[in-house]
Amino acid sequence: MAKVQNIKGMRDHLPQAMLLRQYILETVRRVAERHGFEPLQTPVVEYAEVLEGKLGDDEKLIYRFTDHGERGLALRYDQTVPLARVVAQYAGQLALPWRRYAYGPSYRGERPARGRYREFYQFDADIVGSGSPLADAEIVALLTESLEALGFPGFTTLLNHRQIIGGIARTSGLDETSAGGVYRAIDKFDKLGADGVLAELLRMGVAPAAADQILALVQIDGTPGEVLAALAERLGADARATAAITNLWAIIDALGQMGVSPERYRVAPRLARGLSYYTGLVFEANTPHWPEGSLLGGGRYDELIGQFAGRPIPTVGLAFGLDRLHDVMEELGLGPRPATTAVAYVTVFGPEQAAASLALARELRAGGVNTLISLETGALGKQFKEADRKGVRFALVLGPDELTRGEVVVKDLRGGGQRSLPQAEVVAALLAE
């Protein structure tokens, strides 16, 4: 290679970045498990036919290849389609409704941009086998609890229903085929603005009067109750839209019963979500501190799993983009910022004290203190510099005098002080910091 480098749109995550990413993952995992979600892992490679025909216009982004047996394979595009395959394949082993979570990399052959990568990691949470609005509300509650636990300021989850958008299209005089184009146009609202979406609709051949009506409806704003009441008045002649509005009311009622603050969500008729498999509730979480797009999103997809299982299996879920959450948290200074995993650095005073230092390190680790041991002996100043360079807070010294007294010198490399402690008290002292 002329230049050693990684593939564009795929990133290396060095230790400090990985520590924040692991914090995000563990925080979201704990919230999911508190709700009773169970872990699932699927291969990163699927048969190409598993993914094909499920993603609409986004299908062009699938990474496809053939193996040595000339079988058509593809890299995982997201965690959702593999879930559908798993539910069909292991139907007899899964008790529905099933709450599952999954974490891992997915791949899309798109143009890399800020917060958007060709290799990206997602944490998905889905409820399979329930069409209840309680399931939709629980997914939104899980989203809310997770972002609050991560410390995100001022985030809001936008809620909508695919049949509300369909009703907007139908009551504006469009047929079902044209409604798909309306989804795609409205999905660009935050990027293009009202004028850009209007131009997009006109380019699709939508009549100017119909385009104006669509824009007026998708820009209805206010409290959830005000928006749903306005939509009910304007879309009351469309039975599917009316049922969707009733469904959103039930979800919002359940959110209140689950303790989700009404400040955390709004009904937004302009929200479309681009993936074609959504059938009901759709949602996205946004923060004014990240103007590049949504933090995460999801929705209800009641037909996708049925394409594999041969029977309807209602499902609702969300996907946390770990890369995007990491980038936003790093930019806003959210979350812990440890420089390393180690808390203590045990020096080795000299060859005669090496065995005692190794025993001290073993004692600290057994007590739950992440500990580095010096790989050199003598020259304590050099060892202190190594500990400081690695970001370890405490350097421990066990010299001849300390051994005689049964003590350990604990040097705080961050605060600058030091103290002598009985060796039996060192673990508790470091754990208390």
**What CA dihedral angle connects 95, 100, 104 and 109, to 10 degrees?**
90
Answer yes or no: are the C-beta atoms of 58 and 274 closer than 8 Å.
yes
pLDDT digits (tens, 9 = 90+) for 247-275: 999 999 999 999 999 999 999 998 887 66
Rounded to the nearest 5 percent, the helix, strand and coil shares of the chain are: 45, 20, 35
pLDDT digits (tens, 9 = 90+) for 94-112: 999 999 999 999 999 988 8
In this predicted structure, what is the pLDDT of residue 356? 97
Answer yes or no: are the C-beta atoms of 118 and 162 closer than 8 Å.
no
Answer yes or no: are the C-beta atoms of 298 and 158 closer than 8 Å.
no
In this predicted structure, what is the pLDDT of residue 190? 75
Angle at 274 between CA 151 and CA 100, to 5 degrees: 55
- pTM for the predicted model, two decimal places: 0.89
| Rounded Cα distance, 297 and 129, in Å | 20
Answer yes or no: are the C-beta atoms of 78 and 319 closer than 8 Å.
yes
In this predicted structure, what is the pLDDT of residue 93? 94
pLDDT digits (tens, 9 = 90+) for 197-229: 888 888 888 888 888 888 888 889 999 999 999
What stretches in the chain show pLDDT beneath 50? none
In this predicted structure, what is the pLDDT of residue 19? 95
- Domains present along the chain, CATH in parentheses: 15-332 (3.30.930.10), 344-431 (3.40.50.800)
Handedness of CA 131, 34, 37, 105 (dihedral sign): positive
